[in-house]
Amino acid sequence: MIKPDRFDVIRTPQTCWSAALGALRTAGKRGLEVMVYFAGTFAGTEGSVTRLIVPAQRQSAVACQPEVDEINRISADLVRAGQVLLWQLHSHPGIAFLSETDRSWPVSRKTGWISAVAPSFGAGVKSPADIRAYEYLGIDDWRELNENERRKRLVVT
C-alpha cells in the first residue's frame, strides 16, 4: 500500500470529528494540550477516516508529545488493520499556529502530511474551517492551507 504524496480530500465522519473535539475540550478543561490522529483507508488521493486515535502522551499547558513506543505500537496496529494515519490535530491554549516543535516533530514526514492546530483547546471549534492546517512539503518546509483548501480537503461527513 503506497500512500499518495497528497490527499485531495480526507473525509472524516462526524462521529470521529466530534470525538476529536471532545478529547481536545476535555484536556483543555484540565489546562492541557492533546494530540489526536485520524486513521483510515484511502483510494487514490481520497482518504476515508475510520477511527480516531488518542495516543498515550505527555501533556502540559503548552505541549503534548506521544512517546516513540506509543507511535510504534500505533503504527504496527495500523499495518495489521490495513490502515494508515491520514492527518493529525492538536490543541493550543491560545491562538492556533504551527510552533517550532510542531514543525520539527510531526508523527509523519511524508510529503503531503497534514498537521492541524485548534485554538483555545478546541473551544468554539465546529468545523475544519475553525482550525489552522499545514501541509508538509518536505525538508522541514510547511505550507498553511487557506480556509477554502481546508473546506475542500478536510471534509466532515
Classify residue 94 by burial, with Cβ atoms within 10 Å: 0-12, 13-18, 19+: exposed
Residue 64: inside a domain: yes
How many domains, the chain?
Answer: 1
Give residue 90's pLDDT: 94
Put simply, whether the predicted model's pTM sits higher than 0.75 gets the answer yes
| Euclidean distance between CA atoms 16 and 39, whole angstroms | 10
Residue 4: inside a domain: no
Query: What's at 20, amino acid-wise?
Result: A
User: How big is the CA angle at 122 (ends 120 and 123), to the nearest 5 degrees?
Assistant: 70
Residue 56: inside a domain: yes
Residue 3: inside a domain: no
| Euclidean distance between CA atoms 122 and 94, whole angstroms | 10
Residue 2: inside a domain: no
Collect the ranges in the chain with pLDDT lower than 50.
none
Give residue 122's pLDDT: 92
Residue 95: inside a domain: yes
- CATH code for the domain of 107: 3.40.140.10
- The residue range of the domain holding 73 is 9-156
| Euclidean distance between CA atoms 130 and 151, whole angstroms | 10
